[in-house]
Structure 1
Amino acid sequence: MDMRTRVNEALKQAMKEKAVARLSTLRLINAAIKDKDIAARGNGEVSNICDGDVLEILGKMTKQRQESARAYEEGGRLDLAEREREEIAVIQEFLPRQLSETEVETAVKQAVSETGAASIRDMGKVMAALKARYTGQMDFAKVGLKVKDQLCTSGDC
Structure 2
Amino acid sequence: MSLEQKINQDIKTAMIAKDNVRLRGLRAIKAAILLAKTEKTQVEELNEEGEIKVLQKLAKQRKESGDIYRNQNRDDLYQIEIEELQVIEEYLPKQLDKSAIEEVVKSIIAAVGATSVKDMGKVMGAANQQLAGKADGKTISEVVKSFLI
Q: TM-score range by the shorter chain?
A: 0.7 to 0.9
Determine if contact 1:117/1:151 at 8 Å carries over to the other structure: no
Question: In structure 1, the residue corresponding to 2:36 is in which secondary structure?
Answer: helix
Shift in Å, 1:12? 2.2
Q: Which runs of 5+ in 1 are unaligned?
A: 153-157
Determine if contact 1:117/1:123 at 8 Å carries over to the other structure: no
Q: Which runs of 5+ in 2 are unaligned?
A: none
Determine if contact 1:55/1:135 at 8 Å carries over to the other structure: no
Shift in Å, 1:141? 1.7
1:26 match: 26
Shift in Å, 1:55? 1.6
2:138 match: 141
Determine if contact 2:128/2:140 at 8 Å carries over to the other structure: no
State the one-letter code of the partner of 1:71: I
- Calculate the TM-score normalised by the size of structure 2: 0.81
Please provide the CA RMSD for this pair: 2.3
2:124 match: 127
- Calculate the TM-score normalised by the size of structure 1: 0.78
Give the Cα–Cα distance (whole angstroms) in 1 for the partners of residues 53 and 42 of structure 2. Answer: 20
Shift in Å, 1:103? 0.1
Question: In structure 1, the residue corresponding to 2:27 is in which secondary structure?
Answer: helix
Give the Cα–Cα distance (whole angstroms) in 1 for the partners of residues 113 and 16 of structure 2. Answer: 52
State the one-letter code of the partner of 1:29: I
Residues 43 and 70 of structure 1: is their aligned pair in 2 closer, same or farther, counting only changes over 3 Å? closer
Give the Cα–Cα distance (whole angstroms) in 1 for the partners of residues 11 and 101 of structure 2. Answer: 32
